Structure 1
């Protein structure tokens, strides 16, 4: 009898452990990630290697199991997010990962353009293609287009940017047909799709795809940016600062550790990101002296205000600096006293 009880308890323990570890809940859990030195990731040919450090900050994220779900309720700076808050409707894990990596590519391209322009170095960029990042279910493109397809033309009109396609479709009505020419696995293919209203935006019609424009950026001197499979656009500002610092003779860090976050566009505008509190924690752990946070033009719920609240909670001496543009960051760095 005792032996049978032990065996039952053993298998019950295995089943419980399996449920706690392997059963995925409809949430993602996020937590502080790392603050990573950008010097090893950015290589401007014959660029300066300065004493100070620019750091990109990250958030760790994964699907929540039961243990992670419970930890998120008791550990500081652990956060739960419903799946639909992270992934787009109908988006697979593969499509989500691809979308995040493509967003990083776009972010790096914009960072290069901004840094070279501000440093007065030759840079040129042009749109060279439109790619599918994700496909919504129950929309015209479902089952016909896939993440990674390159859209070559719509109704015979060649496409160089996603804006061209969006503007063209915007003029159409529900039920209109469009002829899509696309490339998959190096093979040119055709599809005729009938436009349909979006489920949550019945006044807008479309194909049900998320698109990305691929830019060809040419610089002198050459630059290589290795993002090491880091996804998302939030490192744009910090990449632009590191590239700029390697292009110019001065060390704009003045020997300090500069962390931060924020998207950047080709005009140097800095945009908000997710996980700001967790990134502040990560930067503080790495001993950062300064943390740049998107100011969102002073909005009450801005990344900057949230970053200041977090800094106060953890008692860091790190200076939280609001930025709306690349120029804001440069002005602050040049105003810092020498170490």
Structure 2
């Protein structure tokens, strides 16, 4: 009997262990942390604040049978289909690289918005075409990788991703191009034969998704230490922290302020995922104020997802559910958040 029980226990342990390595087509999203921005954002000669500005994060990982089951029972955990997180054909590595790019781009836009508001100088330097992903079965596969930066094609310096796309698409399937690119600081040069796309036989390409990579240079210099954080959702809070360090007036006024939202170069605050989990994270950190994007729900979004609501509405519902005294403040722009902090 003892041997049978031992065998059953061993098999059960084996099944549990194996289940922890099986990946399901879902992600599990749960509350992360609220990170103080002052240690992360450093403006040369910047001013210190009495209060605290915080970015909020979520913890998200690919679901296993165990984590999927647990998420059904635990509060504030959410199961998200993988197609809602990753693009078609996107690998784990490409997803992580895309998140890093989005974070880097978000930082630069946050600097621009804060410097515009504070009347400080900056400029952009174009660095080339940034590769976000490589399509399976296309010529770039095995030659180009996500994260590479293409700088030259057929001896011509690239000045925009549109220029690169127009140049390549003017050629025919089977034509060769020579590209120069940078990977991990090392310059490389390769020839690639173009191929027609399966959904458009008359259109030739190498099979990459791309965007522009620019580097912002500001005076004073801004440094952001965000190695462990990905995605663009901290843009609004970055811009507020940078602005607060640039100017003499302390917009925190001794308060603990959290929030979320993307930021574009015009200061518009955009929708993010995981707003409910971020409200929980901010409350746990003792935040008094939480900025939530008051995004517009377009008819197309509503058609594809009838239950969708603005981030602000979702944040208010979660705040009521957890019984927090934290004020949820709707914002559409950087100036909305700034004006609220100055007036309150």
Q: Do the structures match in fold with TM over 0.5? A: yes
TM-score (norm 2): 0.88
In 2, the alpha carbon distance for the partners of 1:93 and 1:103 equals: 15
Unpaired stretches in structure 2, ≥5 consecutive residues? 299-307
In 2, the alpha carbon distance for the partners of 1:312 and 1:166 equals: 49
TM-score (norm 1): 0.89
Does the CA-based 8 Å contact 1:149-1:182 persist in structure 2?
no
How does 1:241-260 map onto structure 2 within 5 Å?
Answer: 241-260=240-259
Query: After superposition, what is the alpha-carbon deviation per residue over 1:86-124, rounded to whole angstroms, capped at 9, x for unaligned?
Result: 222222222221221121111111111111111111211
Q: Structure 1 residues 62 and 141 mapped into 2: Cα distance closer, same or farther (>3 Å)?
A: same
Q: Which residue of 1 aligns with 2:290?
A: 291
Q: Structure 1 residues 254 and 142 mapped into 2: Cα distance closer, same or farther (>3 Å)?
A: same
How does 1:324-335 map onto structure 2 within 5 Å?
Answer: 324-335=332-343
Does the CA-based 8 Å contact 2:32-2:59 persist in structure 1?
yes
SS at match of 1:40: coil
In 1, the alpha carbon distance for the partners of 2:23 and 2:75 equals: 22
In 1, the alpha carbon distance for the partners of 2:15 and 2:110 equals: 48
Query: After superposition, what is the alpha-carbon deviation per residue over 1:48-105, rounded to whole angstroms, capped at 9, x for unaligned?
Result: 1111111100010112122210122122221112233322222222222122112111
Asked if 1:306 is matched to 2:300, the reply is: no
Residue 147 of structure 1 deviates from its aligned partner by 1.4
Q: Which residue of 2 aligns with 1:268?
A: 267
Q: Structure 1 residues 202 and 34 mapped into 2: Cα distance closer, same or farther (>3 Å)?
A: farther
Q: Which moved more, 1:325-334 or 1:158-167?
A: 158-167
SS at match of 1:60: strand
Q: Which residue of 1 aligns with 2:43?
A: 44
In 2, the alpha carbon distance for the partners of 1:162 and 1:235 equals: 26
How does 1:30-109 map onto structure 2 within 5 Å?
Answer: 30-109=29-108
Does the CA-based 8 Å contact 1:151-1:180 persist in structure 2?
no
In 1, the alpha carbon distance for the partners of 2:24 and 2:55 equals: 30
Unpaired stretches in structure 1, ≥5 consecutive residues? none
Q: Which residue of 1 aligns with 2:187?
A: 187
- RMSD of aligned Cα (Å): 2.5
In 2, the alpha carbon distance for the partners of 1:68 and 1:331 equals: 42
Does the CA-based 8 Å contact 1:280-1:311 persist in structure 2?
yes
Asked if 1:148 is matched to 2:147, the reply is: yes
